[in-house]
Structures are given as C-alpha cells and as structure tokens.
Amino acid sequence: MTRRDSLKYGGLVVGTGILSGCAGSDGDSTSGTTDEESNESATDDEGADDSYSVEMAPVGELSFDAPPERVTAYFPGYTDMCVALGVEDSLVAMAENSRFHSHHFEELDGVDAVDVPDIVDDDGIDKEIFYELDSDLHLIDPEWLVNNGFFGLDRDDVEEIRENVAPFFGNTVFRRTDSWHDYRYYTLYETFAKVAEVYQREERYEAFEAFHDEYVAEVESRLPPVDDRPTALLTYGAGDEPEEFSPYRLSDRGTNNKQWHDLGVEDALAGTGIDGLSTSDRGTIDYETMLDVDPDAILVRSDTIRTADEFEETVLAYMRDHDVASELTAVQEGRVVRGGPIYQGPLVHLFTLEAGAQDLYPEEFGDEQLFDRDRVAAIVSGEF
C-alpha cells in the first residue's frame, strides 16, 4: 500500500461504526481525563516514519505509516495546533477563517499566520470540495458536519468522503452544549496531544505543555481570593452597538472558555434557567434580561477584532449611553470587556489568558506581558 492508501484505509479496522456517534468512545460523555491510546510503534523522535496508530472519539483508531502531508481542518483551534507543532504547511484548507485570531502570531518571531482557502461558502459545504482538495486526512469531527443542517451534508456524504478521499479525525471540543455530542470530550491539551501524535511531534507538544503549566500556575498565583473574583456573563454581540446577545455558559468546560476557567471566573447564568448557545438553541437575550442577572462583569465576543482601547471606545461607550445598559453594574464599573475567540488552540490561548487577566484584574496585571514570546517562538521552531 502507498502512504496515502495507508492513511485512507488504515483506520477501517473500526469500520462500520465510525460515524455512529460513540465509536471509539470510552463511554464518558463529559470526562476530561486521558483515555487509553494505541501508539505502540511510534518512537520518541520527531518525524518517525514507523507504523503507528492514534485513537480519538468519535472515529476510533486510525493507523498511519507516516504523518499526513495534505490536511483539511475545520475549527481554527486545530489549525492553531498545527502552527504550534510546525506543520502548518500541511494544511490545504480550513473553515471559520475570519474567526481565527492569528494576528497574535505577529508577536512571535518567525511564526506566520496561515493563509488557506475556506471550505464553507454561503451555501454550506459542497462535498466536491473534499475531492478537489484531495487531502490525506480531514482533521474534522464528522459528527459536527452531519449534525449541522446548514452544511448540507448527511451521513452518506461523509461516509463517501471517508471512503473515497481520506478519513476524518477530530472532536468538537470548543463547547459542550450540543445534545448530539454524546461521546467523549477532550480538554484543549488532550486534543493537542492527539494532533501531536498524528504528526509525530510529541516532543514539541511536551515542551508546550510544560510551558503552559508553568504559565497558568504563575497567573493563578496572582489572582485575588475566590470571594473577590467576579461572576461574569459571556455573550456574543455583533457590531459596535449591540442590542441582542447570544449567551454562552461559562460553566461549560469547552475549550472556548479555557482562559476564563484559568482566571477563576464564575458563571453569572448559573441557576437562571438560561441555556448557552448550541446547534439547537440559538436564543438571544437583551439588556432587560441582563439587568435581571446583573453580573459583576460582561464578556462580549464578536467577529470584530479590537484592542482593549478600541473595545472601550465602541461597545462599552455605547452601553454607557444606553437607557437600560447603563444601569448594569458591569457597565457602571467598567467591567465590560472582550470575550475572547470562540475557537482557540494552544498558541491563541496564551494570548487570551494574558488579555483576560489584564482586562478583569487591571490592578494586578495592568499592561504587563505575562509570558515569554521568544521562548514560545523557539518551541514552535523546534528549539526546546
């Protein structure tokens, strides 16, 4: 078999259940603990070309005889992982390009933003694009594709792509509010570890993990006592003058909330009966509902990338002049801040944790640079 044949068909030992929703799952729908993995032939050397296998729910186990050379991703968090591992050149396409906060990479010497085509257009996803891209691997959760009607793909389409083009390997980890996701979840770094195994870059992953653990521990050591930390409402609000917001649940353990969990922020919607954004729940809230909750802080996401000053001069300024929003405690105390990206990988997370600390606890962190950019850039370059 050729290298590509091995990538396409090596995982078919788990075969008919690959899109069943639970294939390869350990039965834990919410656990963040590490599962049993099979990687018997892989060595500790980066770039090893011996046969190896990697397992991840929902697809189960895939076998490889070499790291993939042409990869299509969906979530920018996975693209972020590829950049961190130094394998971004393997990416031929992704989705949600506009929500990939790769501008942060400008602060990392030698690390460039990824510029690849988007697989989603105004009509969803045409399955023919997968044939045209001819990837070795789709770094995509197949259940995400079949459970979002907007894409126009059904199980038969995804199975056809798996059989005729390349297998899928991925898990929707950015949130945990979708009812169809009844298989195992992974934390950001558990997911990152899986991608590192696929690319045989475990040593680089381990260097990132050690840096991350040290960085988070240092930030946590400087946080105020638990009783002095704010409750926060995390929302999505479009434009400079938002009137309606899509709520997220900070209690959700998805990777989109990682920096807020690291910062000890509590969910202001706990006990309110308001659910978070999901595939089936697209509900919104207004300022009157916010006032009923009246959180200590409001974290606002949008598709516009702004500095802290730009955010204050637009969104916060608008709220301060609004008849209802101006009554909110968070508005009066200036604790309306940027909510951070929906999709983040290990690199973007380093920056969102820094920004979140500066925005929520300015008296402690101010404009201080909280992590060593040169050290991160060196890890990306393979110097560790």
Q: Distance (Å, rounded) from C-alpha 279 to C-alpha 281?
A: 6
* Predicted TM-score of the model (pTM): 0.85
Residues 6+ apart with CB under 8 A from 246: 235, 236, 237, 277, 282, 283, 284, 285
Is the pLDDT at 232 greater than 90? The verdict is yes
pLDDT of 58 reads 97
Instruction: Delimit the CATH 3.40.50.1980 region(s) of the chain.
Output: 3-200, 210-380
Distance CA 318, CA 315 (A): 5
User: For 221, how many CA atoms within 13 A lie in the half-sphere containing its CB?
Assistant: 7
Tens digit of each residue's pLDDT (9 = 90 or more) over 7-46: 444 444 333 233 333 333 333 334 433 343 333 333 344 5
- Select 3-200's CATH number: 3.40.50.1980, 3.40.1130.10, 3.30.1330.90, 2.120.10.30: 3.40.50.1980
Q: pLDDT digit string (tens) for 117-133?
A: 899 887 789 899 999 99
User: In the CATH scheme, what is the homologous superfamily, with its name and number, of domain 210-380?
Assistant: Nitrogenase molybdenum iron protein domain (3.40.50.1980)
